[in-house]
Amino acid sequence: MNNTNKSVTVHGSVSGNTNINTGDHVDQKITVTEDGAVEAFAQLMKDIHEKSTDSQRAQLEFFAEKLKEAYLKNDKEEGKKLLGFLTSALGHVASVASIASFFGITL
């Protein structure tokens, strides 16, 4: 039996460096966890508290919450806009760069 169907079905959101082998006789599983996102958003809130002024903090926390919502909805355009605001205020901090990578965006 020669089955040439090499289709791939992905359930959920997959981003980053994900290699999928579509060769013959391949049984491959990829597990994506949300732990990295939880940690990155927690670090973002910590960065906001450490690197912003009192007058900026409430607005940046609002942007961070909206960014988390955009991530959960997989809304890349909204994410890109919010990442721009956060980068302008906080600079190129690791938490923002990590979250950008979840959207497939390079800062």
Of the listed ranges 16-20, 47-51, 62-66, the least confidently predicted one is 16-20
Q: State yes or no: pLDDT of 20 exceeds 90.
A: no
Counted domains in the chain? 1
| 11 part of a folded domain | no
| 8 part of a folded domain | no
pLDDT score recorded for residue 17: 46
Global model pTM greater than 0.75: no
The residue range of the domain holding 70 is 35-102
Rounded Cα distance, 12 and 15, in Å: 10
| 17 part of a folded domain | no
Q: State yes or no: pLDDT of 48 exceeds 80.
A: yes
Rounded Cα distance, 91 and 103, in Å: 18
Q: Provide the pLDDT confidence category of residue 60 given band limits of 50, 70 and 90.
A: very high
Q: State yes or no: pLDDT of 15 exceeds 70.
A: no
Q: Are 60 and 51 within 8 A, CB to CB?
A: no
| 82 part of a folded domain | yes
| 59 part of a folded domain | yes
Q: Are 62 and 69 within 8 A, CB to CB?
A: no
